[in-house]
Amino acid sequence: AGFMGFTQGGDVVKARVDLPALVERLRMTDPLLALRVSGRAGLPGAAALYAQEFKGLISQGDVNGAIRVAIESPAASLRTLDTIRHFQGFPQIPGEPSVLMVYFNKILEDGALNAVEGVELAKYITELVEKQKIEGSEELGDRLRPLDADLALNVYREAGCHGKAVRLLIERQMFKECLAYVKATKREAAAALPDWLDLLTELVATNAEGASEFAQLVYSDLGAAAADPRAVVALFVDRGCVKEASGYLMALLTRDDEADEELQTVLFEINLLHTAPMQVEALFGQGRYTKYDAKKIAVLCEKAGLHQRALKLYCKALMKGEGGVDDGIERTAVAAAPTAPKWLPGIVRILPSASGFGIVRALMLSSPRQNAPICTEAVLPHLGKLDVKALVGVFREAKAFAALFRILAVVVRKDGSTDADLHTAFAEAAIRSGNSEEAEAITRTSDHYDPTAVLTLLGESRLSDPWPYMNVCDKHGLWGELVSYLIATRNLRYLDLYLCERAPQNTPKAVAALFDAGADELYVSALIGKVPAFPAGELVEAARARGQLPLITGWMEKEVAGEEDVEEVVYTALGERYIAAGAAGAARKYLKEFAGKYAAADVGRHAEAAGQAELAFLAYAAGDLDRDVLRLTDPAQARAAELDTLLAEYLVRRGCQQLWADALARTPRESLVNAVVAHTLPKVRNAERLSVAVKAFTQAGLPDKLTLVLEQLVLNDPSSPFRDNRYLQNLLILTVTQTKPEQAMSYIKRMDQYDADKVASILLKKDLKEEALQLYKQASHGQAKAMQLLIGTMKDLLRAKAYAMEANSKECWLLLANAYFACGNVLAALDCLAQAQDTTLVRKACAAVAEARTPELLNGLVAYLLAVHAAEGCDTALLTYTDTELVYAMAVAQQAAELSQFISQPNLANLTQAGERCYTQGLFDAARTLFTADRNFPRLAATLIQQRQYLEALDAAQKACHISTWKQVCFACVDAGELRFAQIAAQHIVPVAVELDELCRYFERKGHIRELADLLRTGVAGEAPHIGLYTELATLYCQYDRPKVMGYLTASGKKVNRAAVMRACEENHLWDELRLLHTLNEDFDSAVTTTLDHPACAWDHAAFVSACQGATIVDLLYNAVQLYVSEHPALLDEFLCAISHRVSCDTVVAMLQREDCAALAKDWMLSVQKVNSLVVNSCINDLHIEEEDYVALKASLTTYRNFDPHYLAGHLAAHPLMEMRRIAAYLFARSCGRHQTAIDMSLRDKLYQDAVEYAHASGDTGTVNALMERFLELGLPECFAAVLYTCYDITEPDVALELAWRHKVPDLLMPYLCQVLKELWAARRPAGTKDQAEPDASDPSV
């Protein structure tokens, strides 16, 4: 500022006003004027004056003046954040606007807010809105919406404008937040919410992909009720967004469920209508969806040209039971056949038979030649389910006989069908396809075709090969047709070939047909001679029926003469020819020579018809035709007597009892009887035939003649072969008793080869007892029978005893002894047994004596048994039984001396068995003697117990050396109260673990607990005690002496069966001891569980920590932490340090925070902070803040950076401690990127160095420029210089120069400016220019 002028002398005068000096002068004289002048003129230093004035007014409380000064400050130097903070610090006066709002209003009256003021106003309004200090409205939200969407959203929510809130969230593509908002506000504003379809309609126009995503979220969160998926899909499709519609549906169809049938159908429908077929095939190929409407989709696939896919879907619909798809299946099958012929077999396999047949029919009728191979390959694997006859009709209609032949070949040959129609069709297919070989094979091998139809086909086809025709006629017996066919076609040579090589067995049928056809006889005779072997009988029957036997007589004679195996009918026919020829001699010779080979009845009847009675008899006799023989020789016949001799010989030869009876029953019979007696029987040398004849005479009532014959044959004729015949002697005796009973005894004495048992039984029936007795006495082995007869039948014991003494047979004595036993005379029976020296009835004798047991019987039994003992030949088992019974009998008879003497000698007696019997009957002295002799110490001990001799019983048990004996003695002593002896016995039991439980229970039941404890302690102290002793003692302590349990388990816990002792501890509620056992068992989980369940009894810090360190279930450790929190908080830190490697630090810290006791575990958290966990770091930082330990907090934040810096910085920003706020500023700058906030906080706390560092760290030139200006305004030029040096790389030189000039600090700027100019010169200097020599540092001037 200055002026120019002219002096009166004409000189030009130029003057410059020293503005700073002017302002300083004015400030000293009139501060208010200086303020106004400097402000209006923009003089240097004006900002400082305004700032000074502003501070003065603030300190005086002049709010309005301060507002005015701030607004009028030059270059808006006071319209800063600090000014706003000053106004915010004024208290709110009720009923009046805040100072800050007055400030903003004053500015807005004449101007506008700057950036800082705008931000602060927005913050202020936001804060008011958030604190609900401003009533929200739709208009407010609309105004805030372009500026701050989040704030607008809050306003909309506050004002209840849910529709706009939802639309705002959708515009911002915050779909999840939108749905969460809807759920939160659904109840209170259900009517105000927009329609989802409308929202989707708006969104799809601008963002189809986002609309699809949003629609998926709506469906998953709100269900189909919010937006019908069908309507959503229609919305997308209408706007051409098929891809998004498909994506939406695929997101909905996460499972292949029946309930999604409609949506799956829509998915395929829209793709079929709006996309390429290849994309649809790809969708089908995924295989994710199978529940769609197959019929509907099949129609669309067919329209789209996907014929094979359409066919599969039609088939699927059919399998589901839908109707009206058969036509579609047939259409698509025909359409798809040329392109993919391999699909047809699979389709036929899955479809019902009717549908599969429909496909085949459609294909065959559409193009038979092209589709016949395809259809054949398709139906062959599935013939079992198809109607084969219907297939035959289709292929026959299509005239595809070659394909039909292939199909029927499988049905007939492989599957073995027997259906006549199918076999006929098979033959037809072979014939019509010209396959002669197959036609021949079918007609030859099949038995089920219709011969008439096949013959008709063969006749029409005129095959050159006659074999198929011949096969049909042969198989079905059509020989007339065959012969006629061969004669007509002049192919009789095939008949010769057929009969000679293929089927000679059919020769008779062929010859019969030739006879019927009137064929040449020479040809027929030649044919019969040519065929090697055939059923001759059939040929004979055919010739006989047609009267042609003379034609084949020569052939029959040749057969009979040369063949060995000739049929009966041939022999019969030839015999008939001889009889008919009248050659009696030749016929008689033939009938005798070939007897048995011809049919005797037929030949006999033929001879009778011819009047040849003898020939008829020979024929009947050759065939053993008894009825015909008797009829022919009936006495009433005229020439019957001539045949009696032949009849007698026939009767003897036949040897048939019934035939004899029938022949002898006829009258008169004298001629026949005489012929038999005089001529036939004397010649007989066969005993059986003779016996039959004798029986016949007996039954015919001819005993007199029979007696004479038998006497002659048996007694009178020395040369008779039947003299020693047993049967005839028996018969003679019986016949004599019938005709001459008084002479029976004499006949008996003359014979000795009879059957005594059989004859005697018959005699006894006739009450001939003496004769029967004589028979037995004469018999070589009849003594026993005689004795039985005397005892049983005659009841004569005296005579029986006499006979026994006479016979002196052991068997007789035994029978007599049994008889005495039966009548109760045991003593006499014993005497008989002694006489017999028998050993077989020892058991019976002992049993009989045991029932009576009288002294006499006992003495007799002893004597008998002594005899048996001395007998020789007794087996060991019997002798053992005898000696045992003898010992027992002596004991019962009280023969002590004899008993002692006997057992001292060698014997086989079972002394233990005898002793047991004595023991059972209370004969303890005898039992003791026997057990002692047998050295059976266990039973001896039992006997001594019964005698109450316990000391001797202990000695016997010692010798027995068996645990069961010791148990018996021990229990007996306990029962008797002899506890001293019981303990001695028990000491031998306790080493056996399996017996210990029973012993202890016995003592317990008897109430001897103390003695049992002493016994167990003694066992434990003994040598090699087993685990059972320790266990039983521990269990005993648990039940009866609980104070000793812990000490005992501590000393011997590893030696007990811990499972059993655990049960005892649980039953007796010894929880501390149970915890100890779990620990010893290394079951730390159970130990911890026990302690947690019963902390009052089972908790011990050191033991519990050890158990927790070994536990495997982590949840138990968290429960343990809870226990320490509630019961032992002082030890919590130590406990956590012990288990820190086993638990999740985050989980434990969360638990401690819930319980508000994190400070108790601070040391532990510090020890685990090295894991750098967010939860642990946050908790430790909170503790440091609570304790106002800013040093530790700064160290924690610097070392462990896993924390939420935004939360922590915001939390510390308002902290009353400056160091905490300094940390907040540090976090804002270093971790949150909010350098300006950090700078502002540092300036408020006058931490200028920190502010400089944060400005440099920001890397923002504007931030640095603002900080330099701020320092100069605050009157801190040194800080301004510090900014220049610290932020040298990002400081704008022109701004620094301007600020230095404006604030009169050029000296502070000069070093910075020199450095900048040097760098500028270095960058722009010409090449080759050298730097000025550097001054020498050692120069004193420097």
d(CA 846, CA 843): 5
Estimate to the nearest angstrom the gap between the alpha carbon of 1222 and the chain centroid: 69
d(CA 139, CA 155): 9
What confidence score (pLDDT) does residue 1279 get? 93
Per the listing, tokens 């005779």 go with 525
d(CA 1110, CA 756): 101
Quick: pLDDT tens for 887-931: 777 777 777 777 788 777 888 777 787 777 788 878 777 778 777
Supply the DSSP symbol for 741. G
Mean pLDDT of the chain: 77
What confidence score (pLDDT) does residue 1282 get? 92
Q: Which two tokens stand for residue 622?
A: 């050759």
**Residue 14, beta-bridge partner list:** 4
Q: Are 156 and 141 in contact (CB under 8 A)?
A: yes
What confidence score (pLDDT) does residue 1334 get? 45
CB count in 10 Å sphere of residue 2: 9
Distances in whole angstroms, Cα of residue 382 to Cα of each of 327, 346, 352, 408, 426: 21, 10, 11, 13, 18
What confidence score (pLDDT) does residue 1335 get? 46
User: Which residues are within 8 A (CB) of 1148 and not within 5 positions of it... i.e. 6 or more apart?
Assistant: 1118, 1121, 1136, 1161
d(CA 149, CA 171): 10
d(CA 230, CA 267): 10
**Residue 2, beta-bridge partner list:** 16
Q: Is 50 exposed, middle or buried (0-12, 13-18, 19+ CB in 10 A)?
A: buried
What confidence score (pLDDT) does residue 21 get? 65
Per the listing, tokens 């079972």 go with 910
**Residue 200 above 90 pLDDT?**
no
What confidence score (pLDDT) does residue 1336 get? 47
Q: Which residue has the higher pLDDT, 759 or 195?
A: 759
Segment 753-776 shows an average pLDDT of: 77
Segment 1284-1307 shows an average pLDDT of: 90
What confidence score (pLDDT) does residue 688 get? 76
H-state helical runs in 766-809: 769-778, 783-788, 797-807
**Residue 741 above 50 pLDDT?**
yes
Q: CA-based angle 652:653:659, to the nearest 5?
A: 65
Biggest CA pair distance of the chain: 225
Q: Containing H/E element for 1116?
A: helix 1114-1127
d(CA 549, CA 603): 15
**Range name among 148-157, 508-517, 519-528, 1103-1112 with the lowest pLDDT average:** 148-157
- Beta-strand ranges (E) seen in 936-1010 are none
Report cis status (omega within 30 of 0) of the bond before 338. no
d(CA 370, CA 531): 52
pLDDT band for position 351 (cuts 50, 70, 90): low
Q: Which two tokens stand for residue 1334?
A: 């550097």
pLDDT band for position 826 (cuts 50, 70, 90): confident
Q: CA-based angle 126:128:130, to the nearest 5?
A: 65
**Residue 759 above 50 pLDDT?**
yes
Q: Are 589 and 577 in contact (CB under 8 A)?
A: no
Q: Containing H/E element for 2?
A: strand 2-6
**Residue 4, beta-bridge partner list:** 14
Residue 69's closest CA among 109, 35, 113? 35
State in Å, rounded, how far the first CA of the chain is from the last one.
41
Per the listing, tokens 């820190």 go with 1140
What confidence score (pLDDT) does residue 34 get? 60
Residue 630's closest CA among 651, 612, 611? 651
Q: Are 89 and 100 in contact (CB under 8 A)?
A: no
Distances in whole angstroms, Cα of residue 813 to Cα of each of 87, 258, 502, 800, 839: 152, 100, 84, 9, 12
Q: Which residue has the higher pLDDT, 938 or 203?
A: 938
Residue 191's closest CA among 157, 154, 162? 162
**Residue 1340 above 50 pLDDT?**
no
Report the percent of the chain where pLDDT is more than 90. Answer: 1
pLDDT band for position 1332 (cuts 50, 70, 90): very low
Quick: pLDDT tens for 669-718: 777 777 777 667 667 777 777 777 777 777 777 777 677 667 666 776 66
CB count in 10 Å sphere of residue 232: 28
Count Cα atoms within 13 angstroms, Cβ side, for 573. 28
| Rg, the chain, Cα only | 69
Q: Are 537 and 569 in contact (CB under 8 A)?
A: yes
H-state helical runs in 16-114: 19-29, 31-41, 46-60, 63-72, 81-88, 99-110
Q: Which two tokens stand for residue 39?
A: 């402000």
Segment 1169-1195 shows an average pLDDT of: 88
Quick: pLDDT tens for 1246-1255: 999 999 999 9
Q: Which residue has the higher pLDDT, 1234 or 297?
A: 1234
What confidence score (pLDDT) does residue 1342 get? 31
Supply the DSSP symbol for 92. P
Quick: pLDDT tens for 25-64: 655 555 566 666 655 555 566 677 777 777 777 777 777 7
Report the percent of the chain where pLDDT is more than 70. Answer: 83
360: helix, strand or coil: helix
**Residue 189 above 50 pLDDT?**
no
> Quick one: the chain helix, strand, coil %, rounded to 5?
75, 0, 25
Segment 66-74 shows an average pLDDT of: 79
**Residue 1126 above 70 pLDDT?**
yes
What confidence score (pLDDT) does residue 246 get? 79
d(CA 854, CA 1218): 128
Q: Which two tokens stand for residue 60?
A: 């005086």
What confidence score (pLDDT) does residue 1266 get? 92
d(CA 533, CA 572): 19
Q: Which two tokens stand for residue 98?
A: 């805040």
What confidence score (pLDDT) does residue 336 get? 65
**Residue 839, beta-bridge partner list:** none
**Range name among 372-376, 495-499, 604-608, 614-618 with the lowest pLDDT average:** 372-376
Estimate to the nearest angstrom the gap between the alpha carbon of 970 and the chain centroid: 55
d(CA 1068, CA 1204): 55
**Residue 148 above 70 pLDDT?**
no
d(CA 1260, CA 1287): 10
d(CA 1255, CA 1229): 9
d(CA 1194, CA 1209): 12
**Range name among 12-21, 546-555, 650-659 with the lowest pLDDT average:** 12-21
**Residue 962 above 90 pLDDT?**
no
